[in-house]
A and B are shown apart, each in its own frame.
Chain A
């Protein structure tokens, strides 16, 4: 069981470029969550998805950010026209229904230069 796989581990983008972060949940997990961790801060919820559905996106910035979890393939967090303030670690987690303890991936560290 490979766990939650995120890639890339590190991503550097120039201001104005697009960032695409990928997350493959643990085998058997159908619920995916994205969290953002700014330097010296805790994890902040962004979005909760199931296959082909966004269940809760209350933590997503209204502009430039989008997420999907297609029927086939990984979940994608997409950030358009990145700005320096988007620099953070983005963690994906997965779970089965009704289980409170997520399994987290190792994160993608996005640096915007």
Chain B
């Protein structure tokens, strides 16, 4: 059965800290890995990764995929209270339409 596992389940840090969120997957016919940020409403798209070893960066957030280890990390530097959210990792598979298999998420709380 295809599965996506995220760790840690939850994390509490203080503003200014750097955090690393992990995502590992076991799926057939991997196509791409995506990260989303979910606050109270809709998950919002952060990154899509298809190639191993190429870092994608957006401001204080960055992510990289390791196809050999079947995993990805999401880094957030100089965290702010506005980074508090659930971070979701999802995997898309070849020949699975555009269906995504999601992990359970990491709940991040950033304290002032």
| Residues of A in contact with B (beta carbons under 8 Å apart) | 4, 31, 33, 35, 41-45, 48, 55-56, 59, 91, 95, 99-107
Chain A positions within 8 Å of B99 at CB level: 33, 45, 48, 56, 59
Whether the Cβ atoms of A106 and B88 lie closer than 8 Å is no
Q: How far is the CB of B2 from chain A (nearest CB, A)?
A: 10
> What number of residue pairs across chains A and B have CB atoms under 8 A from each other?
58
- In the complex, how many residues of chain B place their beta carbon closer than 8 angstroms to a beta carbon of chain A? 25
B97 at the interface (CB under 8 A from A): yes
Known contacts A55-B97, A100-B32, A44 near B102 by CB under 8 Å = yes
| Residues of B in contact with A (beta carbons under 8 Å apart) | 4, 6, 31-32, 34, 36, 41-45, 48, 88, 90, 92, 96-105
Residue of A nearest to B45 (CB): A101
Interface SS of B by simple majority: strand
Whether the Cβ atoms of B103 and A31 lie closer than 8 Å is no
Whether the Cβ atoms of B100 and A45 lie closer than 8 Å is yes
Q: How far is the CB of A93 from chain B (nearest CB, A)?
A: 8
Whether the Cβ atoms of B45 and A43 lie closer than 8 Å is no
Whether the Cβ atoms of B48 and A106 lie closer than 8 Å is no
Instruction: Given contact pairs A100-B34, A100-B48, A107-B42, enumerate 20 new A-B contacts (beta carbons under 8 Å).
Output: A4-B42, A33-B98, A33-B99, A42-B88, A42-B104, A43-B90, A45-B100, A55-B97, A56-B96, A56-B97, A59-B99, A95-B98, A100-B31, A100-B32, A100-B92, A102-B45, A104-B42, A106-B41, A106-B42, A107-B41
Whole-angstrom CA separation of A99 from B103 in the bound complex? 20
Chain A positions within 8 Å of B90 at CB level: 43
Whether the Cβ atoms of A101 and B34 lie closer than 8 Å is yes
Which 9 A-B pairs rank lowest in CB-CB distance, beginning with the nearest?
A: A42-B102, A104-B42, A106-B41, A43-B102, A42-B104, A101-B45, A106-B42, A104-B43, A100-B32
